[in-house]
């Protein structure tokens, strides 16, 4: 049975992907094309949340349910001069609070997450720039816990892992995480999400090929890159209100240029 090289492995670890200096293996042109590629840097799209727009609807349903329950309790107390026994009343109030938190977290998650969370691989600097969105789903009303903080990592300190987690009554949730290791070791000091499904594993292998051999080593896609910031969101409320990607100016310049 294979074991992870990393200490510790990610939750649901299934296998390690090639390391930065390993052979990338077979590359395929599937998934969204890279946002950008040239001799200096390669940028891939990276999204924390799938099926955006559904969370807004689910959140509104939760908020509506909590409002209905609160309205019923208010009506019973004011119009009927009746309030349920303490145990039932406290349960109802706790249910309202939980529904508000779930609803608020779902709505905020959908509209606060940037339209894209790109990752840039700068071949000449051997650096990786990650547009990271941080959030605390259980605390939707604390703005200090919901923010974008781009990070910079050394390419040689990154490792990728495929994970698979079983979600009861639903299916297996699979994807790829990227681990940041202490230089010269396999000790993990940080991790961030790379993507859902099989596409990010192919992206990772493409990143290795690019960092080793340049853009000519990448497969050709039959369609142009997606314009995440400027595409028509249609009736999708999440995409309509979500913030655009805006790199810090200095990091934007550094990530796109040679040393």
- What is the average pLDDT across 16-38? 94
Asked whether the predicted pLDDT for residue 1 surpasses 60, the reply is no
Query: How many beta carbons lie within 10 A of that of residue 152, not counting itself?
Result: 14
The pTM for the full model equals 0.84
Average pLDDT for the chain = 87
Considering only CA atoms, which of 73, 67, 105, 104 is closest in space to residue 90? Answer: 73
Residues 162-186: tens digit of each pLDDT: 999 876 655 667 899 999 999 999 9
CA 21 – CA 44 distance, rounded (Å): 20
Cβ 12 vs Cβ 163: under 8 Å: yes
Neighbours of 239 (CB within 10 A): 18
Count the neighbouring beta carbons within 10 Å of the beta carbon of residue 87.
8
Q: Which helix (H) or strand (E) holds 247?
A: none
Q: pLDDT of 212-244, one tens digit each?
A: 999 999 999 999 999 999 988 887 877 888 899
Say how far apart CA 111 and CA 133 lie, in whole Å: 12
The whole-number pLDDT of residue 248 equals: 97
What is d(CA 74, CA 67) in angstroms, rounded to the nearest whole number?
A: 10
Q: At 89, is the pLDDT very low, low, confident or very high (cuts 50, 70, 90)?
A: low
CB 179 within 8 A of CB 157: no
């Amino acid at each position: 049975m294979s074991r992870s090289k990393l200490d510790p492995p990610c939750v649901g670890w299934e296998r390690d992907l090639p390391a930065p200096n390993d052979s990338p293996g077979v590359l395929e042109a599937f998934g969204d094309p890279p946002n950008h590629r040239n001799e200096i840097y390669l940028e891939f799209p990276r999204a924390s949340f799938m099926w955006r727009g559904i969370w807004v609807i689910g959140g509104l349903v939760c908020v509506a349910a909590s409002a209905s329950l609160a309205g019923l309790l208010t009506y019973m107390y004011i119009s009927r001069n009746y309030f349920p026994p303490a145990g039932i009343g406290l349960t109802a109030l706790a249910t309202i609070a939980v529904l508000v938190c779930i609803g608020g977290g779902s709505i905020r998650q959908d509209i606060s997450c940037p339209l894209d969370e790109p990752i840039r691989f700068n071949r000449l600097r051997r650096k990786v720039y990650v547009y990271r969105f941080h959030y605390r789903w259980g605390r939707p009303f604390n703005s200090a816990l919901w923010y974008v903080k781009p990070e910079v990592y050394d390419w040689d300190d990154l490792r990728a892992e495929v994970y698979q987690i079983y979600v009861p009554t639903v299916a297996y949730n699979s994807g790829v995480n990227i681990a940041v290791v202490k230089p010269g070791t396999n000790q993990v000091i940080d991790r961030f999400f790379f993507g859902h499904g099989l596409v990010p594993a192919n992206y990772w292998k493409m990143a290795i090929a690019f960092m080793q051999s340049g853009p000519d080593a990448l497969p050709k896609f039959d369609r142009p890159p997606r314009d995440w910031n400027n595409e028509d969101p249609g009736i999708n409320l999440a995409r309509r209100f979500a913030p655009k990607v805006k790199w810090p100016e200095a990091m934007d310049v550094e990530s796109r240029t040679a040393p």
